[in-house]
């Protein structure tokens, strides 16, 4: 028993340049958590589809998908095995300021977070990188393990059954720990660090994390404060911590291949052509005289 508990204490990720090395208590198997997360994800998508809120194509979806693809290519820096996760992206049309990533690589964004905060690509990459970081670090599995060890979470064994009603009941219990409970400040700091490095390596400017969290904070006084802030409580020191990490990740960003800018930005960046200088008028040459014989 002692041996299995000792084995259960490990770090899910390699440290990266940001140096996240905390040992974690992981008693419930990763496969169980991933299986239950998949049940919740499928239910969420089915519900969104029935309500006509599931977006699976179009400019907004493609924009997210491009960013997700670039970030996903970097996950091996922290965890080789997550390259084999069956990564998926869901976009739900709802005015909710929230985004999640479940273990197993199931990313969900709501249109509300992109539109209400008018997120740039760099800022979207910061949100997504932060969420992917929670999944790579398996923060949800840690909390599920803690609840299981304390006999608060009782249905874990039922996850293995083939009874779909029982599975859904267990998945709902797990979802509470994966999506509803606030993350600890330590988990938040870890997700900021790992997320910054993922985004920097993917070619997104890590300085956008500062503008992102300022936008998020500006919404917090609203009568509908962002759901994201209830599950990602801001350590008061978040912005200072991010600022302190920037010198570590900026060189990665500077060395990274950058994403193609969207078409409209490309056009805006075209240098203004200098006004054509009047050319001295030359007598027209007879064209035929200069043409070489083929
Ligand atoms: Zn978080």
Ligand 1 centroid – CA 253 distance (Å): 22
The whole-angstrom separation of Cα 181 and Cα 231 is 6
State the pLDDT at residue 180.
84
pLDDT at 19: 86
Calculate how far, in angstroms, residue 198's C-alpha sits from the geometric centre of ligand 1. Answer: 15
For the chain, which residues make up each domain, given as ranges? 30-256
Residue 48: CB atoms within 10 A of its CB come to 19
User: What is the whole-number distance in angstroms between the Cα of residue 121 and the centre of ligand 1?
Assistant: 19
Going by C-alpha positions, the residue among 252, 186, 182, 238 that lies closest to residue 209 is: 238
Q: Residue 18 in contact with residue 201, Cβ under 8 Å? A: no
Neighbours of ion ligand 1 (CB under 5 A): 183, 188, 191, 232
In whole angstroms, what is the distance from residue 250 CA to residue 245 CA? 9
Instruction: Let me know the angle formed at the C-alpha of 174 by 178 and 129, rounded to the nearest 5 degrees.
Output: 20
What pLDDT score was predicted for residue 247? Answer: 97
Quote the pTM value.
0.84
What is the per-residue burial (b if ≥16 Cβ within 10 Å, else e) of 248-261?
bbeebbeebeebee
Distance 278 CA to ligand 1 centre (A): 60
Given this model, what pLDDT does residue 273 score? Answer: 53
For each of the chain's 294 residues, which pLDDT tens digit applies?
444 444 467 889 999 999 888 888 888 899 999 999 999 999 999 999 999 999 999 999 999 999 999 999 999 999 999 999 999 999 999 999 999 999 999 999 999 999 999 999 999 999 999 999 999 999 999 999 888 888 888 778 778 787 888 888 888 888 888 888 888 889 999 999 999 999 999 999 999 999 999 999 888 877 778 888 888 887 678 899 999 999 999 999 999 999 987 666 556 555 555 555 555 555 555 444 444 444
The reported pLDDT for the residue numbered 166 is 85
Check: CB of residue 37 under 8 Å from CB of residue 178: yes
Q: How far is the CA of 279 from the centre of ligand 1 (A)?
A: 62
- Pairing type for strands 88-92 and 54-55 reads antiparallel
CA of 286 to the centre of ligand 1 (A): 72
Say how far residue 68 (Cα) sits from the centre of its chain.
Answer: 7
pLDDT the model gives residue 21: 87
Report the DSSP pairing between strands 88-92 and 106-110.
parallel
Strands (E), the chain: 9-10, 24-25, 54-55, 88-92, 99-102, 106-110
């Amino acid at each position: 028993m002692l041996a299995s508990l000792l084995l259960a204490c490990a770090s899910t990720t390699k440290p990266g340049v940001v140096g996240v090395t905390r040992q974690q208590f992981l008693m419930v198997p990763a496969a169980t958590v991933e299986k239950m997360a998949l049940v919740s994800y499928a239910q969420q998508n089915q519900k969104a589809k029935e309500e006509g809120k599931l977006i699976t194509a179009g400019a907004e979806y493609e924009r997210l998908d491009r960013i997700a693809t670039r970030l996903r290519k970097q996950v091996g820096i922290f965890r080789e095995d997550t390259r084999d996760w069956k990564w998926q992206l869901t976009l739900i049309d709802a005015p909710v300021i929230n985004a999640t990533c479940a273990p197993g690589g199931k990313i969900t964004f709501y249109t509300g977070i992109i539109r209400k905060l008018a997120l740039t690509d760099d800022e979207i990459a910061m949100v997504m990188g932060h969420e992917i970081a929670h999944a790579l670090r398996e923060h949800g599995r840690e909390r599920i393990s803690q609840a299981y060890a304390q006999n608060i979470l009782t249905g874990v064994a039922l996850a293995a059954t083939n009874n779909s009603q029982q599975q859904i009941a267990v998945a709902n219990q797990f979802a509470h720990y994966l999506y509803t409970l606030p993350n600890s400040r330590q988990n938040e700091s870890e997700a900021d660090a790992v997320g910054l490095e993922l985004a920097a390596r993917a070619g997104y400017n890590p300085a956008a994390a500062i503008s992102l969290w300022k936008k998020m904070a500006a919404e917090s006084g609203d009568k509908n404060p962002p759901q994201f802030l209830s599950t990602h409580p801001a350590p008061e020191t978040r912005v200072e911590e991010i600022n302190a990490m920037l010198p570590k990740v900026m060189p990665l960003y500077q060395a990274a291949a950058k994403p193609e800018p969207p078409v409209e930005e490309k056009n805006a960046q075209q240098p203004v052509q200098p006004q054509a200088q009047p050319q001295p008028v030359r007598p027209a040459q007879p064209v035929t005289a200069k043409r070489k014989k083929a």
